[in-house]
Amino acid sequence: MPKTVADVMSRDPIVVRSETSLNEAIQILAERRISGLPVVDDAGKLVGIISETDLMWQETGVTPPAYIMFLDSVIYLQNPATYERDLHKALGQTVGEVMSKDPITISPEKTLTEAARVMHDKNVHRLPVLDESGQVIGILTRGDIVRAMAASQD
């Protein structure tokens, strides 16, 4: 019988709220040696995820989009909305300002094969695991899947 997400996920993951300061989230990530945190609202429903990738904007900054001037008009060569989003992340002070919204999730009864496929296809490193009511009950990382693969070879 194939292993399920529930068999290998980390249960009761540390979560943060949108209003949590970025410094506090960074401290949690560093002290616990984890790379991402689910973000929940007051009811415990998932609203986003904050990861090391989201935090890189704080350190690297943002480059304005390339543009050309033509007849007193500015023509952007890249989408200026992307620049606005990235700038907001670079200047953010709370988790809600920096987090990725609408994260990809998985349910606990899915197989590890299905989870691995979702992670690969969507290029994500972790999947919050939600119960039927939308509550975060666990988190599944690529490392969890690799450890399960290693254990099955023993």
What would the pLDDT profile of 74-133 be if each residue is shown by its tens digit? 776 677 666 666 655 555 678 888 888 999 999 999 999 999 999 999 999 999 999 999
Residue 65 predicted with pLDDT over 90: no
pLDDT tier, 2 (very low <50, low <70, confident <90, very high otherwise)? confident
Per-residue pLDDT, 67: 63
**73 or 146, greater pLDDT:** 146
Taking residue 107's Cβ as centre, other Cβ atoms within 10 Å add up to 16
pLDDT tier, 151 (very low <50, low <70, confident <90, very high otherwise)? confident
Per-residue pLDDT, 58: 56
Per-residue pLDDT, 88: 54
pTM of the model as a whole: 0.75
Q: Chain centroid to CA 146: how far?
A: 19
Residue 30 predicted with pLDDT over 70: yes
**17 or 26, greater pLDDT:** 17
Residue type, 35: S
- Measured CA to CA, the distance from residue 70 to residue 113 in angstroms comes to 53
Residue 107, both tokens: 């349910």
Look at the chain and count its residues: 154
